[in-house]
Chains A and B, each alone.
Chain A
Amino acid sequence: MTPIIGIQSITKNYGGEVLAVDDVSLDIRPGEFFALLGPSGCGKTTLLRMIAGFEVPSAGKILIDGQDMSNVPPNKRPVNMVFQSYAVFPHMTVADNVAYGLKMDGVSKSDAAGRVEEALGLVQLPGYGNRMPDQLSGGQRQRVALARALVKRPKVLLLDEPLSALDAKLREAMQLELRNLQATVGITFVMVTHDQDEALSMADRVAVMENGVVKQLAPPRDLYEYPSCRFVADFIGKMNLFQGKVTNSASGEITVGVDGIGDIRVPHDGAASGEIGIAIRPEKASVSAEKPEGADTVAIEGTIIQIAYHGDESHVFVKTDNGLTVSVTCPNRTRTIDDIANHGDRRWVSWNRGDTLVLAE
């Protein structure tokens, strides 16, 4: 399958030492929902703007549907963008906004009118054509921006932080709606976001970026369960990270000595030696009064130093006698608090050996 967007060794240098984007290569497949995820300043927006044509790469090539787009201006590229600020033209009606791109393409007025109405229906704004943008809510303006981009039937739709300006409730609804919309129209979506929850719940594949480099490109589940490096493990979700030393390496298993915990045997393919990071997700561990038995269980004892109540779950922080803190997410499954623990209690934190992550980088 030829990629719909091929990014080949793209580098962007704004002058100076720091590279905004540093030799990034990745392929985006036709029809997928692709997310570029990373903290602010990681280069994700610059990469998106280079696909749109607003920034020129310092080196490398961008192919869209097999065509080299390096010297093609934004108005001649078969991609359209939904801007973070929506950029709905305030001096035009909703219908004129949506029809703008069609007018530029020379689509006849009667054809355009039909397509505009169709696009407005697609984004749940039928009959809003005669409104002015200042009569719309933020969420509605975003739908107009979506319709305006989709009406041109682009090969790829680019979305720059599409949900960041919406309030929490609306954001969640829009996540689902955008996902469904993408499935309906079948156009490749490329979304930039700093919100890992958004990327995980919406995208088919996510590229996690840091300092202009793609750290990992994987489907959401792989990204969460098998992060490739410490940065990704820490950036996506919550994580208990420990530094340890490989004390023994057998086939399919290594033993890591961690200060404050002791030796932990974890499954690991391939050889490993020296300093190494191991990690466990807080929700994969549990807290118990008695030491859990079982050959495949890792258990450490400590004192509860803090319990943060979040309604649906509680975050319990246990400090070992050697000063290492482990956080455990405990779901509040019943209404009556079953008093799993209190501040100052001695408790065992345990998890399944197989859930331990080994992070070489």
Chain B
Amino acid sequence: MDSWYKFKRVFLSVGVPPTFWLVAFFLVPLALIWVFSFGEKTGVVGIDITWTIDNYIRAFNPDILKIFAKSLWLAIAATVICLFVGLPVALGIVYAPSKWKGLLLLGIMLPFWTNLLIRTYALIAVLRTRGYVNFTLEWFDAKIRVLFDLFGMGGIATALLGERFQALELLYNDNAVILGLVYVHLPFMVLPLYAALERLDRSYLEASLDLGAGHLRTLWNVVVPLALPGIISGIIITFIPALGSFLTPDLLGGPDSAMIATIIERQFKSANDWPFGSALSFLLMYITFGALALRAVMAKRGGSDGLEG
């Protein structure tokens, strides 16, 4: 590549628009929020920039910390489940007949093209008390009771299943939020895993089998270490948006499943406390930076095998 000064015009025409975009619509607003986070609310719309760190100190009260911790827990749980669901799915696509691969990948990506709100409400329709999961369970419940009655053992059925069918409470709790986060973020996990596994030379797997390892040991000893950069990418790409989720906990969660984004939104809207909201936003960003730094460290350690993510 020649130096930029040799083809000044080319570099200017290619470089200036994105730079302008980045500065005007990303860095400047971000800087504003950062400045707000050191301000004080003086009225309904007024903010005095006093360079106080009160907003950050306020964030370290137990209630907010609890929500941060809860957000972390929900995001980590969702990421781990995504990994355990996504790895077999990605492996399945990699080893599917080539004429199926495109279709299967399309199946993974299709949800991206559907509005998140619609998908979430669809999930509610499935999970609610009078939803499809409960309908199905109720149907099985009824059939089992009929079967037991047929053999004159209705008493046993009642003892096992209770007096009558109890609908499961699947919505408005932490489990619903985790399920929703997994549902929304699974493609983020599957795609980088797929990319990493697809690149993997099959002769490594065959060599492992040839040397006496079974499929599980090959997966653990060869596939996972060699796909590690992809796995870490998948974890990061899933974890970051999961941590900042707003819609999912808001719609699927119970009163105590609020995640940090819900609290931030509340500061900017109902509480009208922009400085505090800004401070919380930046705290969330620092956590994200931490995750990225962790990835960089891991990549450096994994980089010695000559396979880059």
Query: Chain A: residues with CB nearer than 8 A to chain B?
Result: 52-54, 73-76, 80-81, 83-85, 87, 89-91, 100-101, 104-105, 132-134, 145, 148-149, 152
Contact = CB atoms under 8 A, between A and B. Distances in A.
Interface in B20-70: none
Nearest to B221: A100
Given A87-B201, A90-B305, A132-B304, A104 B213 contact: yes
A80 B209 CA distance: 10
Interface of B: 201, 203-204, 206-214, 217, 221-222, 225-226, 304-307
A133 B226 CA distance: 14
A134 B303 CA distance: 12
A54 B201 CA distance: 15
Contact of B307 (A90, A100, A149): A90
A91 B210 contact: no
A60 to B, nearest CB: 21
A84 B209 CA distance: 16
Contacts of B225: 91
A52 B306 contact: no
Contacts of A104: 211-213, 217
B211 A148 contact: yes
Contacts of A152: 211-212
Contacts of B212: 75-76, 101, 104-105, 152
A89 B204 contact: yes
A84 to B, nearest CB: 8
Contacts of A90: 226, 305-307
Given A81-B207, A83-B206, A91-B226, 11 more contacts: A53-B210, A54-B210, A75-B209, A80-B211, A85-B203, A89-B207, A100-B211, A101-B212, A104-B212, A133-B306, A145-B207
A88 to B, nearest CB: 8
Contacts of A75: 209-214
A195 B173 CA distance: 68
B211 A101 contact: yes
Contacts of B211: 75, 80, 100-101, 104, 148-149, 152
A81 B203 CA distance: 11
A348 B307 CA distance: 63
B276 to A, nearest CB: 47
Contacts of B210: 52-54, 74-75, 80-81, 149
A90 B308 CA distance: 12
B209 A83 contact: no
Contacts of A87: 201, 203-204, 206-207
A100 B211 CA distance: 7
19 contacts: A54-B206, A54-B209, A74-B209, A75-B214, A81-B206, A81-B207, A84-B203, A87-B201, A89-B207, A89-B226, A90-B226, A90-B305, A100-B208, A100-B221, A101-B211, A104-B211, A132-B305, A133-B306, A148-B211
A76 B208 CA distance: 12
A132 B305 CA distance: 8
B279 to A, nearest CB: 43
A73 B212 CA distance: 9
A149 B221 CA distance: 17
A51 to B, nearest CB: 11
B7 to A, nearest CB: 36
Contacts of B217: 104
The 5 A-B residue pairs whose C-beta atoms are closest, nearest first, are A101-B211, A104-B212, A87-B207, A87-B203, A91-B305
Nearest to B217: A104
A357 B233 CA distance: 65
A80 B217 CA distance: 18
A81 B201 CA distance: 16
Contacts of B209: 53-54, 73-75
Identify the interface centre among B212, B213, B221: most chain A CB within 10 Å of its CB: B212
Contacts of B222: 89
B97 to A, nearest CB: 10
Contacts of A54: 206, 209-210
A85 B201 contact: yes
A81 B211 CA distance: 8
Contacts of A81: 206-207, 210
Contacts of A148: 207, 211
A105 B211 CA distance: 9
A76 B225 CA distance: 24
A105 B212 CA distance: 7
Contact of B306 (A73, A134, A145): A134
B203 to A, nearest CB: 4
Nearest to A148: B211
A100 B201 CA distance: 18
Contacts of A53: 209-210
A32 to B, nearest CB: 21
A75 B218 CA distance: 10
Nearest to A96: B221
A87 B305 CA distance: 13
Contacts of B208: 89, 100
Nearest to A133: B306
Contacts of B305: 90-91, 132, 134
